[in-house]
Amino acid sequence: MFDAVFRNFSFLMGGLLITFKLAACALAGGIPLGILVGLGRISKNKWIYYPVTYYVNFIRNIPLILVIFWFYFVMPIITGSSIDPFPSAVVSFIVFEATYFGEIFRAGYQSISKDLVNAAFATGLTYSQTVRYITVPIAFRRMMPSLITQSIVTLQDTSLAFVIGLPELVRRASIVDNLEVRSIQLFGFVAITFFIICYTGSKISRYYEEKVRKANIL
């Protein structure tokens, strides 16, 4: 019943690889940028706080598909040179996902009480030692479930890159479908593939959530 899938298996898997690559690049850029965005969102310096906050509010209130379109079709008009779909998609995703990761990091930093940090300082630890041994480890444990969940969302979001012709899994399935006319099995296969990956991810996230809850770190 998956005959069309089997005939084009390596072509489809190549698409999945591109999906993974795009998601990996989006996370590799989006998480570090998100760490900075999170710091910007708790900054007391208004020259940092306001620009970062406007950026976050702006991006979070427009659909991702527009961000992808905008980068791909409008950037070349402004810069005067065309841009490949893959780097264009990577930039869009980093810019978009960093706002979501930024809010997760902001919440993580803010969950640590001022007096806990004071307690560390009171023993003579420096600022950087306190960040390294206290703030970041605690924030990271608390944020782990949200980080995993957002990473899964990022992976699902990558399918939107098909709108600029990036040959990722969904795009390749539709190319095969044009030749084979097997929509149900092809897109069924795509759905199952995404489901397995994302379900596994959400199980891992659940596991961490449980672990954190048990250790009473939340």
Partner 1 sequence: MIEIKNVSKWFGDFQVLKNINEVIRQNQTVVVCGPSGSGKSTLLRCINGLEPFQQGEIIVGGVKVNDPKTNIYKLRQKIGMVFQRFELYPHMTALQNITLAPIKVLKLSKKEAEERAMKLLERVGIPEKANEYPANLSGGQQQRVAIARALAMEPEYMLFDEPTSALDPEMIKEVLDVMIDLAKEGMTMLCVTHEMGFAREVADEILFMDYGQIVERGTYEEFFKNPKTERAKDFISHILH
Q: Could you please report the per-residue DSSP string of 61-96?
A: TS-HHHHHHIIIIIHHHHHSS---HHHHHHHHHHHH
162: left (phi over 0), alpha (psi -120 to 50) or beta: alpha
Least distance CB 195 / partner 1 (angstroms) = 34
Task: Please check whether residue 171 is in contact with residue 14, taking contact to mean a CB–CB distance below 8 angstroms.
Answer: no
- 120 interacts with partner 1 by CB under 8 A: yes
Binding segment toward partner 1, per CB under 8 A, in 7-15, 26-34, 66-74, 130-138: 130-138
Task: Please check whether residue 57 is in contact with residue 40, taking contact to mean a CB–CB distance below 8 angstroms.
Answer: no
Query: Binder to partner 1 among 134, 175, 198, 204 (CB under 8 A)?
Result: 134
- 121 interacts with partner 1 by CB under 8 A: yes
Query: How many Å apart are CA 40 and CA 44, to the nearest integer?
Result: 8
- 124 interacts with partner 1 by CB under 8 A: yes
Binding segment toward partner 1, per CB under 8 A, in 66-74, 83-91, 119-127, 201-209: 119-127
Q: What are the CA-CA distances from residue 133 to residues 36, 67, 119, 128, 154 (Å)? A: 19, 37, 13, 9, 29
Q: 133 or 195, CB closer to partner 1? A: 133
- 111 interacts with partner 1 by CB under 8 A: no
The two tokens of residue 40 are 């910007």
Q: 13 or 217, CB closer to partner 1? A: 217
Q: 121 or 208, CB closer to partner 1? A: 121
Helix then strand then coil, in percent of the chain rounded to 5, is 85, 0, 15
Q: What are the CA-CA distances from residue 73 to residues 23, 84, 91, 215 (Å)? A: 21, 11, 13, 49
Query: Binder to partner 1 among 44, 79, 81, 115 (CB under 8 A)?
Result: 115
Query: Binder to partner 1 among 61, 79, 178, 216 (CB under 8 A)?
Result: 216
Binding segment toward partner 1, per CB under 8 A, in 47-55, 100-108, 112-120, 165-173: 112-120
Number of residues lying near partner 1 (CB under 8 A) = 21
Which positions lie near partner 1, rule CB under 8 A? Answer: 113, 115-116, 118-126, 129, 133-134, 137-138, 141, 215-217
